[in-house]
Amino acid sequence: MTDGERNPPPGQGVLEANTLGLWAGFLDRLPLGEAVALAKAIEACGVDTIWLPEWRGVEPFIRAGLYLASTDRLAVATGVANAHARDAEAMVAAASTLQEAFPARFVLGLGVSHRSIVEGRGHTFPPPLAFMRRYLDAMSSAAQSRSMPPIVLGALGPKMLQLAGSSASGAYSYFCPVAHTAAARTIIGPWSWLVSSQMVSDGRSEGWREHVAHYMALCLGMPNYTKNLERFGFGPEDFAGPSEALIDRLVIADDPELLSGRVTSQRQAGANHVVIQFVPPPSPRGVMDLLERNVETLRAAVA
């Protein structure tokens, strides 16, 4: 147990260390009624927090509000909202409204996204660290007396992690090995929240590694992910395949013993909250099958 777990920041119980998170980008592919019904089923299965990405075609704050309104205890986090998509005032308005409507059930995950996505929307992509510093300052000015939810920054590199530790509630990492979790904890300090994602694949399906490799290749097309992985000893030969070594460091099969060991390793490395991401994204029934057969293992590992 880390010092941060013994003394969590006040007012952030939504990210308590013994809670189970689920990356829920697959909800974006569903019509709204089906997505809400699946969010209810995910809550009933024992998940505490779902994390919603911001990609294309779905407004994460509206969906967050609808999922929160349709469930009783489920928390919702953005993982992560694109800071280039809204100015600071608009981000504060959305986040504070959800905080007021659903106290202690929303987390604002915030990030700079990727150059290709930002420029594809017609925006410029300034140096990420300086941009995020200015953005957080502007959010602070806009918030004034409004109640805000916890803010975690999508952070991979050391400088963005330092900013997450000094100017936000903590950091959210994605597509990272356990070694990154340990390094991130050292950088952000013992009192900040550290949210780490862990990819899990259906180890019972034939050719699961090939399916995972195809999904990973999409992420490896993003330079910020490869640059971060290079810090932990991976290189072009790992990214081309991807290599078996890279798959093994980032993804775990849903074998109870292996899964428990990896999630426990994430917690021991310093993660307060572990977000499970099933890859490749399964069908709604596939999500529930994976959850139902693994939820007891996962809850025991995060406890």
Phi-psi map region of 122: left, alpha, beta (phi>0 left; psi -120 to 50 alpha) = left
Q: How many distinct structural domains can be found in the chain?
A: 1
Q: Is residue 153 part of a domain?
A: yes
Res. 4 pLDDT band, cuts 50 70 90: very low
Length of the chain: 303
Residue 301 confidence (pLDDT)? 94
Predicted TM-score (pTM) of the model is: 0.94
Distance CA 240, CA 138 (A): 40
122 three-state secondary structure: coil
Domain holding 165, by residue range, is: 3-206+248-302
Are residues 186 and 2 in contact, defined by beta-carbon separation less than 8 angstroms? no
> How would you class 170 by CB atoms within 10 Å of its CB: exposed for 0-12, middle for 13-18, buried for 19 or more?
buried
User: Per-residue pLDDT tens for 113-133?
Assistant: 999 989 898 999 999 999 999
The residues that bridge with 262 in the sheet, in sequence order, are none
DSSP code at position 84: G
The answer to whether position 252 is within a domain reads yes
Q: Dump pLDDT digits (tens) for 64-91.
A: 999 999 999 999 999 999 999 999 999 9
Q: What are phi and psi of 111, to 5 degrees?
A: -155, 175
**In the structure encoding, which two tokens stand for residue 149, read together?**
């939810």
Q: Closest Cα partner for 42 from 249, 297, 287?
A: 287
Q: Which residues touch 1 (CB under 8 Å, ≥6 apart)?
A: none
Q: Please answer whether residues 83 and 90 qualify as being in contact, where contact means their C-beta atoms are separated by less than 8 angstroms.
A: no
CA 149 – CA 40 distance, rounded (Å): 22
- Residue 13 forms part of a structural domain: yes
Which whole number is the average pLDDT over 195-221?
A: 91
Residue 213 lies in a domain: no
Tell me, yes or no, whether 152 lies in a domain. yes
Tell me which amino acid residue 43 is: E
Under 8 Å between Cβ of 25 and 215: no
Cβ pair 93, 62 in contact under 8 A: no
- Phi/psi of residue 292, nearest 5 degrees: -60, -35
Give domain status of residue 239, yes or no.
Answer: no
Q: Does residue 20 sit within a domain?
A: yes
The fraction of the chain above a pLDDT of 70, given in percent, is 96
CATH code of 265's domain? 3.20.20.30
Q: Which amino acid is at 37?
A: A
The pLDDT value given to residue 293: 93
> Is 222 inside a domain boundary?
no
